[in-house]
Amino acid sequence: MNNKSEMLGRKVAVLVETEYIPAEVEFYKTFFEGVGAKVDFMTYLWGNQERKLICDITDTEHPEQAIHTMLVKKEIANCNPNDYDIVLIAANYVACRLREIPPMGSLANAGLLRSPAAVRFIASAMTNQFIVKGALCHALWLLTPVPELLKGRKVICHTVVLADIYNAGGVYVPDQSHVVVDNDLVTARSAGDLDAYGEALISTWRSLQHKNFQ
């Protein structure tokens, strides 16, 4: 059982966008606040003070619950990953949308692949070995614009993004637990693995804390 004050005063960043998974977002809030941490959800605010994100899921049994929204007030470009103990990329198509090269809808060019604020945020976090990085399901898509960050790293992901992760040099590990830990990087296959993923994130944070104080 986790200590309810174990992460008291600590901070967790969660990168989100439209088409997030409502149950995943709620899990992070409940799970990490349950051990005393502050959870900051962040996205692109496009110059506004806040932004409402929408997820329209298909639920034929409960159609009245098919639209979910969340209000986000933190702009990724204004945040520093080094202020956080754990940095998470939400699942589903969040990573795909976060790596959009501005302005949205433009032709852009390949030289700007690393320019989106979310890509720069997670790339910076990856250089700090004392920050736990977490990527669930499709989330590793956000690292593919900077393939050297994935090269040689042991990961698990949804099969939809496996080709991209493999081409970026990631080492796919089809672990039966559906969770893979490679030092400061924790990955899980899907939102169906949230409980095991959450425990792996906390366990990895504990381990890094121990190394930090040696």
**Which domains can be identified in the chain, with CATH numbers?**
11-212 (3.40.50.880)
* pLDDT digits (tens), the chain, 214 positions: 688 899 999 999 999 999 999 999 999 999 999 999 999 999 999 999 999 999 986 555 556 667 889 999 999 999 999 999 999 999 999 999 999 988 777 888 899 999 999 999 999 999 999 999 999 999 999 999 999 999 999 999 999 999 999 999 999 999 999 999 999 999 999 999 999 999 999 999 999 987 766 5
Beta bridge partners of 89: 15, 135
The token duo for 180 is 């893979």
Classify residue 107 as exposed, middle or buried by CB count within 10 Å of its CB (0-12, 13-18, 19+). exposed
How many helices (DSSP H) and strands (DSSP E) are in the chain? 5, 11
Whole-angstrom Cα distance, residue 147 to residue 122? 12
Identity (one letter) of the amino acid at 152? Answer: G
Q: What is residue 138's DSSP assignment?
A: T
Burial class (CB in 10 A: 0-12, 13-18, 19+), 134: buried
* Residue 67 confidence (pLDDT): 83
CA angle (64, 70, 76) in 5-degree steps: 150
- Here the contacts of 146-153 (C-beta below 8 Å, separation 24 or greater) are 146/114, 146/119, 149/122, 149/123, 153/182, 153/185
